[in-house]
């Protein structure tokens, strides 16, 4: 097996089983391989951020990734970035978007994020989600302005949904991504994750995040409606799947016990079939 083919196979294996994997399988091969490579990169830097290694060691690992991305764009890819060489060249992927993703992961490494202010939360969402979107829309072939706008709004919609879905999991890492201003508006002065998640004002905070996510979903819908259907099949699938997850979270509620919310595989497959073939 050639080096590039081996890289694509490894990247696909990393994505396998995720909603992302199923959404991207409908793409033509070159686009699909590119998206799996982007996903594999994101998974690897995310694993660093979420590891239990000392902070200095994690920062060093992220710095090595920055250097490896720089080497990639200098035409000297190391083995772990070899699979990104063709996507970066063929789809015009920007180095600064890869760096932004690393910077977002580093925000989790420098200190446990707890009740960030609105500006910090938005920066975090831009780096860990919308930057991924900016890479993705280039692979999809979208125009510059609509592509940037879709990455902005859909990236934030998906990340805010993730924040609500993963409240308890993030708390286990000592993290709390709910914005300080919303907590204070609900009468919550604590920033300790366990204390906040046990507060009777939590539902009010989450409702504000739900409203914001839905606004971003709506703006993303407007962009996709005016875009050629073939260019937005994959983001439509991701949007619909995550909006269903958001709806299930709202229906479940925010008080203990918070059961995990996942989208049934059969439901995801029905979304894929509708957007891929109908």
Tell me the per-residue pLDDT of 175-189, one tens digit each, with 9 for 90 and over.
Answer: 999 999 999 999 999
- pLDDT tier at 278 (50, 70, 90 boundaries)? low
25 & 152 share domain: no
Domain span including residue 56: 1-111
Tell me the per-residue pLDDT of 5-30, one tens digit each, with 9 for 90 and over.
Answer: 545 445 444 544 566 778 888 899 99
**Overall number of domains in the chain:** 2
Residue 163 above 60 pLDDT?
yes
Average pLDDT, the chain: 93
Residue 99: per-residue pLDDT:
98
Residue 269 above 90 pLDDT?
no
103 & 116 share domain: no
Residue 262 above 70 pLDDT?
yes
Task: Choose the final residue of a domain: 83, 111, 139.
Answer: 111
Considering only residues 186 and 273, tell me which one the structure prediction assigns the higher pLDDT.
186
Phi-psi region of 14 (alpha: psi -120 to 50; beta: other; left: phi over 0): alpha
Distance between CA atoms of residues 150 and 144, nearest Å = 10
Residue-by-residue DSSP string for 51-115: S-S-HHHHHHHHHHHHHHHHHHHTT---GGGHHHHHHHHHHT--HHHHHHHHHHHHHHHHS--BS
Residue 2 above 60 pLDDT?
no
Residue 277 above 80 pLDDT?
no
Distance between CA atoms of residues 177 and 102, nearest Å = 18
The CATH number that applies at residue 72 is 1.10.600.10
133 & 184 share domain: yes
Residue 15: per-residue pLDDT:
46
176 & 92 share domain: no
Distance between CA atoms of residues 249 and 90, nearest Å = 39
191 & 245 share domain: yes
255 & 137 share domain: yes
94 & 148 share domain: no
Residue 127 above 90 pLDDT?
yes
Residues 6+ apart with CB under 8 A from 43: 14, 15
Distance between CA atoms of residues 23 and 80, nearest Å = 24
**Percent with pLDDT over 70 in the chain:** 92
103 & 138 share domain: no
162 & 83 share domain: no
Task: Choose the final residue of a domain: 55, 89, 111.
Answer: 111
Residues 6+ apart with CB under 8 A from 121: 177, 179
79 & 194 share domain: no
Residue 145 above 80 pLDDT?
yes
Task: Choose the final residue of a domain: 89, 111, 133.
Answer: 111
Tell me the per-residue pLDDT of 204-258, one tens digit each, with 9 for 90 and over.
Answer: 999 999 999 999 999 999 999 999 999 999 999 999 999 999 999 999 999 989 9
Which tokens hold the place of 196? 């906040």
Residue 20: per-residue pLDDT:
73
Tell me the per-residue pLDDT of 66-112, one tens digit each, with 9 for 90 and over.
Answer: 999 999 999 999 999 999 999 999 999 999 999 999 999 999 999 99
CB burial readout 201-240, b (16+ within 10 A) else e: bbebbbebbbebbbebbebbbebbeebeeebbbbbbbbbb
How many other CB atoms are found less than 10 A from the CB of residue 126? 20
Coil, strand, or helix at residue 278? coil
58 & 169 share domain: no
Residue 1 above 50 pLDDT?
no
């Amino acid at each position: 097996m050639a080096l590039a083919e081996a890289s694509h196979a490894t990247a696909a294996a990393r994505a396998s089983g995720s909603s992302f994997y199923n959404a991207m399988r409908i793409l033509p091969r070159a686009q699909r391989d590119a998206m799996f490579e982007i996903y594999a990169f994101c998974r690897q830097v995310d694993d660093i951020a979420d590891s239990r290694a000392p902070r200095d060691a994690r920062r060093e690992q992220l710095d090595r990734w920055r250097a490896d991305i720089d080497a990639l764009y200098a035409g000297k890819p190391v083995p772990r970035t070899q699979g990104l060489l063709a996507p970066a060249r063929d789809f015009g992927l920007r180095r600064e978007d890869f760096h932004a993703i690393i910077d977002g992961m580093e925000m989790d490494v420098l200190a446990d994020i707890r009740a960030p202010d609105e500006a910090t939360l938005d920066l975090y969402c831009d780096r860990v989600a919308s930057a991924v979107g900016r890479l993705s829309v280039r692979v999809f072939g979208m125009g510059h302005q609509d592509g940037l706008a879709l990455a902005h709004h859909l990236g934030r919609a998906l990340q805010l949904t993730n924040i609500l879905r993963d409240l308890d999991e993030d708390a286990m890492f000592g993290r709390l991504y709910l914005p300080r201003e919303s907590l204070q508006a609900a009468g919550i002065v604590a920033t300790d994750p366990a204390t906040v998640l046990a507060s009777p004002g939590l539902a009010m905070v989450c409702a504000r995040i739900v409203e914001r996510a839905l606004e971003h979903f709506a703006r993303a819908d407007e962009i996709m409606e005016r875009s050629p259907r073939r260019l937005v099949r994959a983001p439509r699938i991701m949007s619909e799947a995550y909006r269903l997850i958001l709806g299930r979270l709202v229906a479940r509620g925010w008080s203990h016990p918070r059961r995990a919310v996942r989208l049934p595989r059969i439901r995801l497959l029905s979304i894929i079939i509708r957007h891929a073939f109908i």
